Chains A and B, each alone.
Chain A
């Protein structure tokens, strides 16, 4: 696994484990925002949503948009 593959794996793993949350997309986005360093976030934004589960993909899109807005 290279670094991007690992980030995809991590994001999917987070999404799977937060699937039962009341608002899974927001929960995944919040988790990544809280624990990932800026470079990791930047890498996955640059990668896009390929290989991401629907919830993980939505969370990454949410974060990327917030980043662009901010």
Chain B
């Protein structure tokens, strides 16, 4: 396929059900009411010249190029701002229009550089196209004053701004306002002096509030805003649709290519998760895929004190299999285990758990979802019957009240946050949704342009359950429950038991205020708003799950939704915002040690025999070890070998000292990854991985949407990740013969009822499918629990607040909570190897001015952060975003190692670590801690490759 940009219909789609028929250039067309004449023409294949219109933003009517003639109308109206009417007769090409358009274009070109041949947008420029379309051949104006010759703003690492090429169409400003919702851009000056400005005159793009989402670059019709990569290599020649490998939103992108070289990632307008939008990570931060630090050859070593030795794949597989067999023979089969990755595809994940269950002969398989959303699986399965969110992302368009708890969507899930913000701002006369934010920090969404949360409840970290129980208290005692819904859809006895519990005086907001630190009146008002404000939707993240009561909090959320009838239709629901791209999929694929694919317990004889018959093996009916249990068993000397695919447990898991002790106690640690990550410091075998650009498969996003990942280039390491696992399985003696990931998906569909209707062919046909995809729902299930809960009756569970065992005291008086930032992703292994470091070169410690003053600290000072588990140093950022008594940091940088200080307390039900609450002390520091120095030395030693040159 030769390169074609995605079709631009000029103005946004109308959602009206009413159809309107009209005639354009003698041809009849029928479109929804509210459609512009421009879009109606585009729908029937007629291209009306345009410059200021694009279908991602509302019509503007400034360029005067899209003029048309309409029978019975005076003059020449702009087609972008004229809605269709029944029986309208439109002409888009007449001599009069041609003359007007040529005149308009002549004016534009009189103030535009004529360097088309050497311009980066040559061949992909709307101004150039329109000059051709109107037949402009000459510019008669002898312009004395122009806006040409201005300096470029090249401050952003991914795109340039060349004001001389700007035609002042405002598409970038409107994209920033309407699509992204940051409102970073404006037009300064008038006439010749008109100039797009990123804030103050002194601001450049980098210094401004711009979040580098790329919406302005996408909207720009000229080379004014253009990707640096296009400037460097030229325009693409083909494109392939694929799915982003960053967060759980799962944006669809066109990977635009030149041969096997990626030129740019362009958000796909028909992507059902992102609807044409992107963020700085997905659109721009893919440079890690070709980073020089990628390891491309397998490596082995006897001991972690030896340097690495590069080997061929055959030797690597033979050696790995012999080590695993040796350890199994020496210590028993339960000494082996594996960890699947939420960054890998469903097919790869499925194979790793199959290798463990069928090849290693035990159920010691877990996934990084253990440390993020395992409580979601437990909590939603218990209450609703399905371990997943209830809605699709589009649902937010029908929400009246949005409750965000323990999530920071503008940083963690930015593309969905933009859609949420659009609903919060209101649109076309429809008032915006109301917003409740429950978070210890004042996250960006609490107050951003045209958005102000009605209620921000800055709770003390660790008291989520108390806050939600207090909200339930208000809803029940003030008679705000949806009794009809509960009687019809839930177990009434369980409800009554729960209602009695939450109604107790000890659960009132006033009584719990000393614990939660949330103003009781504010909490009451928030509860009333959620219960009575119309469609109420709850969105939550790791601020809910990563607590000692993570599972309880998820169930408390489910209780609230059921009590108010906010389940089973658009605009409502319980929506976990998944951290990594395929957290949902990794959980679905049977990565947990107690569950087979489709969330069926390993002790379930029917489910197990289905797999046993298909795989021709006998499976152990007892659950295996979870990640923290594996590490404990390793320290005890009984767990000896770990296959770890695409996860860096040393950096991401809590209590680094304990993780490293566990890894150090193993005899065979196999790391399968792109880079020599931190875990690889303790590895004996390194199997190089492939990037999402180099393989086929599927990811499942936070809305249960299964989406294709397509190979656009040959794996630099030679094998796709599923091939590596298959070759290892073959070396272990397993008879696996998959020739393509589609065959793995066929097996998944065969063995997993909720995936019964999923296949690569179906996905190619429809783009994506939301499970369950069954005979009853062949096109998938955007909204769940519509007519009844999957488990039958919705289950109310009493969630009593139990304070965490992690206590503050005189030695550790502050509470540390951790989180993410927009420009970085998880442990930073990918984003730190891109230009995104320009935004976040180091992890900072946010500290309230009062706490900072008490300790004589100011922003930029080095501070020592100490907990009962360990200590590290980083620099302070004094801010009132955090409450007094609370400090906050991110965990994106290996140098900081925030997890040196986090403890191994965990969720009572799932062992999900309590990352969000650690008692700490802060003091001034003048250098790295002993741990940091020792670790740096260890890393340098551990990364030696026999050539003598360190690999990183």
The 7 nearest A-B residue pairs measured at CB? A20-B798, A13-B908, A17-B908, A3-B632, A38-B622, A37-B625, A20-B800
Report A1-60 residues with CB < 8 Å from chain B CB: 1, 3, 6, 9-10, 13-14, 16-17, 19-22, 31, 34-40
Task: Give Cα A36 to B625, complex, Å.
Answer: 7
Residues in B with CB closer than 8 Å to A3 are 632-633, 635-636
Is there contact, CB below 8 Å, between B909 and A37?
A: no
- Report the interface size for chain A: residues with CB under 8 A from the other chain: 21
Is there contact, CB below 8 Å, between B594 and A16?
A: no
Contact of B908 among A1, A16, A34, A37 (CB under 8 A): A16
B347 within 8 A of A: no
Is there contact, CB below 8 Å, between A39 and B800?
A: no
Mark contacts of B540-555 with chain A using CB atoms, 8 A cut-off: 1 yes-contact digit, 0 otherwise: 0000000011001000
Is there contact, CB below 8 Å, between A34 and B800?
A: no
Residues in A with CB closer than 8 Å to B909 are 14, 17, 31, 35
List 20 additional A-B contacts (Cβ < 8 Å) besides A21-B798, A34-B623, A37-B334: A1-B904, A13-B548, A13-B802, A13-B908, A14-B909, A17-B552, A17-B909, A19-B800, A20-B501, A20-B798, A22-B497, A35-B909, A35-B910, A37-B364, A37-B624, A37-B629, A39-B625, A39-B633, A39-B638, A40-B629
Residues in A with CB closer than 8 Å to B601 are 34
B221 within 8 A of A: no
Residues in A with CB closer than 8 Å to B799 are 20
Assuming the contacts A10-B908, A17-B549, A40-B629, asked whether A35 and B623 have C-beta atoms less than 8 A apart, the reply is yes
Is there contact, CB below 8 Å, between B800 and A14?
A: no
Report B663-708 residues with CB < 8 Å from chain A CB: none
Task: Give Cα A9 to B906, complex, Å.
Answer: 10
B593 within 8 A of A: yes
Q: CB-nearest residue of chain A relative to B639? A: A39
- Chain B proximity of A6: nearest CB distance (Å): 6
Q: CB-nearest residue of chain B relative to A9? A: B805
Is there contact, CB below 8 Å, between A37 and B802?
A: no
Residues in B with CB closer than 8 Å to A14 are 908-909
Contact of B593 among A9, A10, A37 (CB under 8 A): A37
Is there contact, CB below 8 Å, between B802 and A39?
A: no
Q: List 22 A-B contacts (CB under 8 A).
A: A1-B904, A13-B805, A14-B908, A16-B802, A17-B549, A17-B908, A19-B800, A20-B799, A20-B800, A21-B798, A35-B626, A35-B909, A35-B910, A37-B334, A37-B363, A37-B624, A39-B334, A39-B625, A39-B633, A39-B638, A40-B625, A40-B629
Task: Give Cα A10 to B904, complex, Å.
Answer: 11
Range of interface residues on B (Cβ < 8 Å): 20 to 34
Mark contacts of B81-117 with chain A using CB atoms, 8 A cut-off: 1 yes-contact digit, 0 otherwise: 0000000000000000000000000000000000000
Q: CB-nearest residue of chain A relative to B635? A: A3
Task: Give Cα A6 to B904, complex, Å.
Answer: 10
Q: CB-nearest residue of chain A relative to B592? A: A35
Contact of A37 among B548, B623, B635, B910 (CB under 8 A): B623
Residues in B with CB closer than 8 Å to A17 are 549, 552, 800, 802, 908-909
Task: Give Cα A40 to B312, complex, Å.
Answer: 39
Is there contact, CB below 8 Å, between B594 and A35?
A: yes
Residues in A with CB closer than 8 Å to B497 are 22
- Chain A proximity of B801: nearest CB distance (Å): 10
Report B581-609 residues with CB < 8 Å from chain A CB: 593-594, 601, 603
- Chain B proximity of A29: nearest CB distance (Å): 14
Residues in A with CB closer than 8 Å to B802 are 13, 16-17
Task: Give Cα A17 to B800, complex, Å.
Answer: 7
- Chain A proximity of B889: nearest CB distance (Å): 25
Residues in B with CB closer than 8 Å to A36 are 623
Task: Give Cα A34 to B623, complex, Å.
Answer: 7
- Chain B proximity of A3: nearest CB distance (Å): 4
Q: CB-nearest residue of chain A relative to B633? A: A39
Residues in A with CB closer than 8 Å to B805 are 9, 13
- Chain B proximity of A43: nearest CB distance (Å): 9
Residues in B with CB closer than 8 Å to A1 are 904
Task: Give Cα A39 to B633, complex, Å.
Answer: 9
Residues in A with CB closer than 8 Å to B633 are 3, 39
Residues in A with CB closer than 8 Å to B501 are 20
Name which of B552, B593, B603, B629 has the most chain A CB atoms within 10 A of its CB.
Answer: B629
- Chain A proximity of B421: nearest CB distance (Å): 36
Residues in B with CB closer than 8 Å to A34 are 594, 601, 603, 623
Is there contact, CB below 8 Å, between B908 and A6?
A: no
Task: Give Cα A34 to B381, complex, Å.
Answer: 14
Mark contacts of B788-803 with chain A using CB atoms, 8 A cut-off: 1 yes-contact digit, 0 otherwise: 0000000000111010
Mark contacts of B622-653 with chain A using CB atoms, 8 A cut-off: 1 yes-contact digit, 0 otherwise: 11111001001101101000000000000000
- Chain B proximity of A15: nearest CB distance (Å): 9
Residues in B with CB closer than 8 Å to A9 are 805
Residues in A with CB closer than 8 Å to B623 are 34-37
Task: Give Cα A17 to B633, complex, Å.
Answer: 25
- Chain A proximity of B637: nearest CB distance (Å): 10
- Chain B proximity of A30: nearest CB distance (Å): 11
Task: Give Cα A54 to B635, complex, Å.
Answer: 29
Name which of B497, B623, B911 has the most chain A CB atoms within 10 A of its CB.
Answer: B623
- Chain A proximity of B82: nearest CB distance (Å): 62
Residues in B with CB closer than 8 Å to A21 are 798
Task: Give Cα A39 to B629, complex, Å.
Answer: 10
- Chain A proximity of B553: nearest CB distance (Å): 11
- Chain B proximity of A32: nearest CB distance (Å): 10
Residues in A with CB closer than 8 Å to B593 are 37
Is there contact, CB below 8 Å, between B622 and A37?
A: yes
Residues in B with CB closer than 8 Å to A37 are 334, 363-364, 593, 622-625, 629
Task: Give Cα A23 to B799, complex, Å.
Answer: 15
Q: CB-nearest residue of chain B relative to A16? A: B802
Task: Give Cα A13 to B905, complex, Å.
Answer: 10
Q: CB-nearest residue of chain B relative to A40? A: B629
Task: Give Cα A16 to B801, complex, Å.
Answer: 10
Task: Give Cα A1 to B806, complex, Å.
Answer: 14
Residues in B with CB closer than 8 Å to A6 are 632, 904
Task: Give Cα A19 to B798, complex, Å.
Answer: 9
Q: CB-nearest residue of chain B relative to A41? A: B622
Task: Give Cα A3 to B630, complex, Å.
Answer: 11
- Chain A proximity of B423: nearest CB distance (Å): 35
Residues in A with CB closer than 8 Å to B549 are 17
Report B898-946 residues with CB < 8 Å from chain A CB: 904, 908-911
Task: Give Cα A36 to B628, complex, Å.
Answer: 12
Residues in A with CB closer than 8 Å to B364 are 37
Task: Give Cα A3 to B628, complex, Å.
Answer: 10
Mark contacts of B347-382 with chain A using CB atoms, 8 A cut-off: 1 yes-contact digit, 0 otherwise: 000000000000000011000000000000000000
Report B456-470 residues with CB < 8 Å from chain A CB: none
Residues in A with CB closer than 8 Å to B594 are 34-35
Q: CB-nearest residue of chain A relative to B628? A: A6
- Chain A proximity of B853: nearest CB distance (Å): 36
Q: CB-nearest residue of chain A relative to B334? A: A39
Task: Give Cα A9 to B904, complex, Å.
Answer: 11
Task: Give Cα A17 to B375, complex, Å.
Answer: 14
Q: CB-nearest residue of chain B relative to A31? A: B909
Task: Give Cα A49 to B238, complex, Å.
Answer: 67
- Chain A proximity of B498: nearest CB distance (Å): 9
Task: Give Cα A61 to B614, complex, Å.
Answer: 38
Q: CB-nearest residue of chain A relative to B364? A: A37
Task: Give Cα A10 to B802, complex, Å.
Answer: 14
Name which of B501, B593, B622 has the most chain A CB atoms within 10 A of its CB.
Answer: B622
Task: Give Cα A31 to B907, complex, Å.
Answer: 13
Task: Give Cα A21 to B549, complex, Å.
Answer: 15
Name which of B497, B601, B626, B632 has the most chain A CB atoms within 10 A of its CB.
Answer: B632
- Chain A proximity of B506: nearest CB distance (Å): 13
Task: Give Cα A36 to B911, complex, Å.
Answer: 11
- Chain B proximity of A21: nearest CB distance (Å): 8
Task: Give Cα A13 to B550, complex, Å.
Answer: 12
Q: CB-nearest residue of chain B relative to A38? A: B622
Task: Give Cα A22 to B798, complex, Å.
Answer: 10
Mark contacts of B308-352 with chain A using CB atoms, 8 A cut-off: 1 yes-contact digit, 0 otherwise: 000000000000000000000000001000000000000000000
